[in-house]
Amino acid sequence: MNPWLATLQWYIDLGVDEAIAATPWNRFEAAVAPTSVAEAGQPRLQAAVTPLAKAPPPPPRPAAPPPSPDLLHLSDVHDLETLRARLEAYDGCALKATATNTVFGSGPADARLMIIGEAPGEEEDRRGIPFVGPSGHLLDRMLAAIGMDREQVYIANTLYWRPPGNRTPTPAETQACLPFLKRQIELIGPKALLLVGAAAAKTMLQRSEGIMRMRGRWFDYASGDGRPDIPALATFHPAYLLRSPAQKREAWRDLQMLQIRLAGGKAE
């Protein structure tokens, strides 16, 4: 393989897929090395070097305008397509500027089960569909184990745009997306929520425990506005199961609990 292509592939395997530096670098402030001139038959003289003038600081960046109140007033949104259009017009989350696609969600609008993860990954960002990478393939197999498939469930994330380099989302980014996700849940009206991973479980249930303590337990997701609470089950994220296959046994127990609840039983 070409050595340059091999180096590039090595960076991609490490997760370096964004040409974004951590801090700005003003090259005009680089030190200027002194030079010298020498003429034939004459002694060497130190050249007079005039350092480059320091570049003026850039003008202060104007603060991003607050989101339009009309965009966040979602009670007048009565279908998923209108909600998607409202989200596409929303600029209250900075992740939108660096993402390739908005990953709104996929599945039937009347799904009995809604699965919520944390954030889109590289493949999801490229295609605009949640859970289509390696973790998505495992999620498909998990659903098949309880007699379900992707066409029967609605899948979304707590974030609609991929964080650069798959970094951990900030609380502000999560909160910026939360009103849309809550309305999404209201419009779908699922019989149960499956929260995969600690970030999704903590966000949707407003709890601080780790996933090891929350998984395998039923919680009540508070719908608000007089709507009945929705049973919510926390379990491991498929990406974690790919790294820790020994935990698949516990995840299988969680799925069996989910299967019983969806069948009309009450697995505690």
DSSP lists the bridge partners of residue 235 as 196
Supply 232's token pair. Answer: 């919510």
Supply 165's token pair. Answer: 């380099």
Q: Is residue 25 part of a domain?
A: no
33 Cβ partners below 8 Å, 6+ apart? none
Query: Considering the chain, what percentage of its residues have pLDDT values greater than 90?
Result: 67
What is the structure's pLDDT at 6? 67
Q: Is residue 40 part of a domain?
A: no
Residue 45 pLDDT level (bands cut at 50, 70, 90): very low
230-247 pLDDT, tens digit each: 999 999 999 999 999 999
Residue 165 pLDDT level (bands cut at 50, 70, 90): very high
Q: Is residue 55 part of a domain?
A: no
7-19 pLDDT, tens digit each: 666 667 656 666 6
What is the structure's pLDDT at 73? 75
Q: Is residue 20 part of a domain?
A: no
Q: Is residue 14 part of a domain?
A: no
Mean pLDDT, residues 141-149 = 96
What is the structure's pLDDT at 14? 59
How far apart, in whole angstroms, are the C-alpha atoms of residue 118 and residue 159? 6
Structurally, the chain folds into a number of domains equal to: 1
Q: Is residue 22 part of a domain?
A: no
How far apart, in whole angstroms, are the C-alpha atoms of residue 106 and residue 100? 17
CA 37, chain centre distance (Å): 58
- Asked which of 39-53, 82-96, 142-156 is least confident by mean pLDDT, the reply is 39-53
Give the structural domain span for 127: 69-262
What is the structure's pLDDT at 50? 52
187-197 pLDDT, tens digit each: 999 999 999 99
How far apart, in whole angstroms, are the C-alpha atoms of residue 77 and residue 66? 20
Mean pLDDT, residues 144-157 = 97
Q: Is residue 8 part of a domain?
A: no
CATH assignment of the domain containing 118: 3.40.470.10
107 Cβ partners below 8 Å, 6+ apart? 114, 150, 151, 152, 153, 154, 155
